[in-house]
Structure 1
């Protein structure tokens, strides 16, 4: 019998997290023995909680809101994509004793967009929000060479600062980013819209671009049992392909699981199906 691997997720709030269920399903499919637990952390004790977890035999952990940037400052080594994101969602205890920080959010989104046939390359993209969620996905999206990428944030200075940081880190594609305070200023048909704000949690509607392409697609990083507010908005204006972020959640989790456990990347199709059935 394979040994038991201790994994977990740190966040606040954390009781709603689907991560234990997802990783349990991965472990069952891979015939591996995993104990994946939720850990409620506080800002004053986050680093101590993480240290205790790894001192007691933890192999790896996920980090969710609001600690992803704290985790980036905590680790002894950052992967290139975590450095670009300025945030960590995956902690790995290396054989040399170092704590490595990675970010699988962008990869998870890129894989899910491809699975759903939502193309990025050569298309006009609009991303709402310039916070941690946007930081995690921007480098991967820009690497796919969109035609234009509009970054919409009410506080333009925050979005400009994010663009400048990416350029300073050597991401040449950051020059593609056009910062706007409102999507109403976009003058071309938009082909892919991504909501990286918390608007769907608060029930807030976003101002959409005035022109959508006939085959426009929409993606909300939030996930829920029913269509989100953002998805409903897009459907009302004729957008035929919309999705929530459950697929991204599962795909980024599969990437984390492979980093911890090695071997083949877990199959996500059956896990997605199981989660949709139980939601």
Structure 2
């Protein structure tokens, strides 16, 4: 019998998740159906529960529903609790909803794939929203040297640094007073999607700095354009993070880890 899965979002028509999970299913010989469901913004819970009554086994959740999904869960992983949001739901036969967050694992795996080991690296995380929060614990667990969080609103960065203080070397800095080069700069903000760029000082980019934008699209992102213009060594978009978090979700549901690299080149070709 085919097991049902879906991704919920609004909008969702652009989602690559049905293709990605379909390819993972072929790769691992799993019998699943995976669809994209656009829920009305004010009807997420009822839309999700209708899907569950159809016998669904799990779901992914994307913007703007990750916090709402978190609130509906009966059980949460440690990562999900700290992230304050979930992107992966599993539905048990007893009617429980279990939440996890695989975004950070997807990010770290792609960073290691693109840039090598993260041991002792000084990393700047730009932004203090849900995307940043979901990635901090996996970053701290990957043996980095130091994580600095900056944000247009300093207080938000400070709150995140305090929340994760016990998990590793993390601090907040005012975006206006940053003057050191970093090994890796990660942009977690979605400002670039609206043509904006956080007011970052050029001093954070050195000749060996590598930059990663969690956003992705057909064209180079505004953040990566800026990073290249001020001399970054290497820039990468978040497509690998998307595929990596999907692979982790798939492994939670199916008990087998697919190989994300097998479909990366195909997706890059589709987007170009």
Say yes or no: TM over 0.5.
yes
3-state SS in 2 of match to 1:36: strand
3-state SS in 1 of match to 2:267: helix
In the other structure, the counterpart of 2:63 is 65
- TM-score, structure 1 normalization: 0.91
1:193-272 paired onto structure 2 within 5 Å: 193-209=185-201, 210-262=203-255, 264-272=256-264
Alpha-carbon deviation of 1:95?
4.1
Separation (CA, whole Å) in 2 of partners of 1:65 and 1:17: 11
1:2-17 paired onto structure 2 within 5 Å: 3-17=1-15
Separation (CA, whole Å) in 2 of partners of 1:235 and 1:74: 42
Q: 1:180 aligns with which of 173, 180, 187?
A: 173
Alpha-carbon deviation of 1:124?
1.4
Listed one character per residue, the Cα deviations across residues 149-176 of structure 1 (whole Å, up to 9, x for unaligned) are 2211111222222233334xxx432xx3
Separation (CA, whole Å) in 2 of partners of 1:111 and 1:96: 33
Q: 1:75 aligns with which of 73, 79, 94?
A: 73
Q: Which runs of 5+ in 2 are unaligned?
A: none
Contact 2:5 2:57 in 1 (8 A): yes
In the comparison of the two structures, how many residue pairs are matched? 270
Contact 1:118 1:192 in 2 (8 A): no
3-state SS in 1 of match to 2:12: coil
Separation (CA, whole Å) in 2 of partners of 1:62 and 1:249: 12
Separation (CA, whole Å) in 1 of partners of 2:148 and 2:30: 43
Does residue 1:85 correspond to 2:68, yes or no?
A: no
3-state SS in 2 of match to 1:92: strand
Separation (CA, whole Å) in 2 of partners of 1:123 and 1:92: 34
Note closer, same or farther for the CA distance 1:47–1:166 as it changes in structure 2 (3 Å cut). farther
Superposition CA RMSD, Å: 1.6
- After TM superposition, the structure 1 stretch with the greater mean CA deviation from structure 2, 14-23 or 154-163, is 154-163
In the other structure, the counterpart of 1:25 is 23
- Structure 1 segments of 4 or more deviating over 6 A? none
In the other structure, the counterpart of 1:36 is 34
Contact 2:118 2:144 in 1 (8 A): yes
In the other structure, the counterpart of 2:268 is 276
Contact 1:120 1:192 in 2 (8 A): no
- TM-score, structure 2 normalization: 0.94
Q: Which runs of 5+ in 1 are unaligned?
A: none
Separation (CA, whole Å) in 1 of partners of 2:43 and 2:163: 28
3-state SS in 2 of match to 1:140: helix
- After TM superposition, the structure 1 stretch with the greater mean CA deviation from structure 2, 67-76 or 149-158, is 149-158
